[in-house]
Structure 1
Amino acid sequence: METETVWRVVLTPPLALEGGLAEEMRPPNMVQQVLSLFRNIRPGSDLAQFQLPPLFNIPKSQLQCYGEGVYCIGEDNYLSRCARGETSQERFASVVAWSISTTRPAIFGLAPFNPILGETHHVSRGNLNVLLEQVSHHPPVSAFHATDSEENIELVWSQHSVPKFYGTSVEAVIHGKRQLWLKSHNEKYEMNAPNLVIRILPKPCMEWSGTVRIKCTESGLEAEICYYRGNSFWGFGGNPRCIKGKIFNTSTQKLVYEISGHWDKNVSLKDVENGEVQVLYDAKKAISKIETPVLNNAKGLSETESAIVWGEVSEAIMNKDWERAREAKRKIEETQRALSRERKEKEQLVWMPKHFSVSQTKESQWECSPLNESVPQAPIFVPVPPSPIPD
């Protein structure tokens, strides 16, 4: 008689504008702890393979964080808006707003787990089905595929971060591109992601930085969105969550819209031709009051699911049982090292992902193509609140 495997599935609150995991995990005296962590690390060091003690981890994998940026949303669904615009300009502006909505507050001093090779994360929200897979460990490359059958939208991207220590800060440069297809309109959008900066001195904080470029060849429109710290003096003061940018026509270089605001508040869109200003993005509606994913069907789970792989470690961190967290994390790392040695002995030098085909075009560019046209419904889902009853 076969014994049914019982998985420890741990699903934690998402990173949100208000409340959520940040409220539960924000630690005291973190500045001193972070300083001690980097005391023996030389400036300029690549931290891609640096192993964090569980004390500095949030209880979820980086795959889950990437996924949450798409499937964990508030009352305003900016992704659905993209396909509903009547003109190419309206749709492009909605894609810009959606790109901003994937920016989530981080917690100073804490980072998600580095996904293990072959780890997967599969979640649904309504008709949106999202699947991620860790397709490389060195460098840590994550592949993403999502489809929405109702809106006829497809998302594909691959990305990996290269974190480096600069003495008073750590910057994680995000390599890779995101692709969004609005199939009903035959439009394809390509974009990158901002970089994450951890400032230790003079004032500790986490902020998104750099320029995001969004381009749609079919419409000829392009956007440049700059994430920056506004009105600061030697690193003191200022708002680290400022955004400014523009949307222009690539063939004529004519400016169409100007963009300004704060990604954690409101972002405005100004029509250059008539001077009209409208709200492009409302962070409170987009990334607050976000529901935590729940398990719907345990039989449909894969043993490589992030919520299973890191279940015991996450549970221990939530309970502040640091000894148990260290031991559980050590077991995962040792198992991965053993599997790596086994692959080398068998001369299996190339890892074959389960859900993606992978090619490397340049040192920092990875191409990941889904093996299936659509993503199936997942055993984990995000509850969709009922639509408000109109007055």
Structure 2
Amino acid sequence: MDLTKITLPTQILERRSLLELYATFFTHADLFLNISSFETPRDRMVAMVGWYMSAYHVSLKPKRPKKPYNPVLGEIFRCFYRVDDEAATTSPRASRDGPLPWAKSSDLVFLAEQVSHQPPISAFYAECPTRQISCQAYVHTKTQFRGAYAVVQLVGKGKVMLHSHNEEFHCNFPTVYIR
């Protein structure tokens, strides 16, 4: 019997879509945005790892992990994180060309979309124009049940771009074991 094909009752599901769950990677927006402010490539790499690790600490916070709702093909989730920045453009419609026209140029804007149904692949993008930093990624989840535990593989790639330094950081997603 394939347990990945069983329909779960809604009370044991997380109350949000998988696309919204990916936005929690940027809960510590300050750590993400400060990556490009460091002087040396080594310090920027250390800051990148710090943000990357904090993203998983926040997203795995619930005591009992729950399965989020599967997004439908073409589903989109958009949000932004308000960041205090003196260099920000004061107009609330400063980034009309970006993914969220109502966000300021100093805000960290996040956009996720379900781009494939079989296999289920999600893509997301985050940017802050004033800090000249962006992130793009795609991820596909694979679930396996192995006796007393479940394995959730996050298959995909992420790329953080520091435009002012002409640097890119490439990262993979971890495998999660749930007991």
TM-score with structure 2 setting the length: 0.80
Partner of 2:49: 96
What does the per-residue CA deviation read over 1:267-315, in whole Å, with 9 as the maximum and x for residues that have no partner? xxxxxxxxxxxxxxxxxxxxxxxxxxxxxxxxxxxxxxxxxxxxxxxxx
What does the per-residue CA deviation read over 1:313-372, in whole Å, with 9 as the maximum and x for residues that have no partner? xxxxxxxxxxxxxxxxxxxxxxxxxxxxxxxxxxxxxxxxxxxxxxxxxxxxxxxxxxxx
**Equivalent residues of 1:129, 1:148 under 8 A apart:** yes
Matches within 5 A, 1:229-244: none
When the two structures are aligned, how many residues end up with a matched partner?
A: 152
Structure 2 distance, partners of 1:151, 1:117, is 32
Partner of 1:184: 164
SS in structure 2 opposite 1:112?
A: strand
**Equivalent residues of 1:79, 1:98 under 8 A apart:** yes
SS in structure 1 opposite 2:53?
A: helix
SS in structure 2 opposite 1:161?
A: strand
Cα distance change, pair 95–54 in 1 and its aligned pair in 2 (3 A): same
Partner of 2:19: 63
Structure 2 distance, partners of 1:153, 1:186, is 10
Cα distance change, pair 132–193 in 1 and its aligned pair in 2 (3 A): same
**Equivalent residues of 1:46, 1:162 under 8 A apart:** no
- 1:107 deviation in Å? 4.1
Structure 2 distance, partners of 1:50, 1:148, is 40
Instruction: Please say if 1:168 is aligned against 2:124.
Output: no
SS in structure 1 opposite 2:131?
A: coil
Q: Which runs of 5+ in 2 are unaligned?
A: 83-106
Q: Give every structure 1 segment of 4 or more consecutive aligned residues whose post-TM-superposition deviation is greater than 4 Å.
A: none
Q: Which runs of 5+ in 1 are unaligned?
A: 1-41, 200-391
Q: Which has the larger radius of gyration?
A: 1
Cα distance change, pair 162–46 in 1 and its aligned pair in 2 (3 A): farther
Partner of 1:83: 36
- 1:116 deviation in Å? 1.1
Structure 1 distance, partners of 2:6, 2:54, is 29
Structure 2 distance, partners of 1:97, 1:51, is 37
SS in structure 2 opposite 1:142?
A: strand
Find 2:68's aligned residue among 106, 112, 118: 112
SS in structure 2 opposite 1:189?
A: strand
Partner of 2:123: 143
- 1:50 deviation in Å? 4.0
Matches within 5 A, 1:1-391: 42=1, 45=2, 47=4, 49-70=5-26, 72-73=27-28, 77-103=30-56, 104=59, 105-108=61-64, 110-126=66-82, 127-199=107-179
Structure 1 distance, partners of 2:140, 2:126, is 18
Greater relative contact order structure (CA < 8 Å, 6+ sep) = 1
**Equivalent residues of 1:56, 1:109 under 8 A apart:** no
- 1:88 deviation in Å? 0.4
Partner of 2:89: none
Structure 2 distance, partners of 1:192, 1:137, is 21
Cα distance change, pair 51–138 in 1 and its aligned pair in 2 (3 A): farther
When the two chains are superposed, the root-mean-square deviation of aligned CA atoms in Å is 1.6
- 1:102 deviation in Å? 1.0
Cα distance change, pair 62–107 in 1 and its aligned pair in 2 (3 A): farther
Cα distance change, pair 186–50 in 1 and its aligned pair in 2 (3 A): farther
Partner of 2:87: none
Structure 1 distance, partners of 2:74, 2:20, is 14
**Equivalent residues of 1:159, 1:176 under 8 A apart:** yes
Opposite residue 102 of structure 1, the aligned amino acid is A
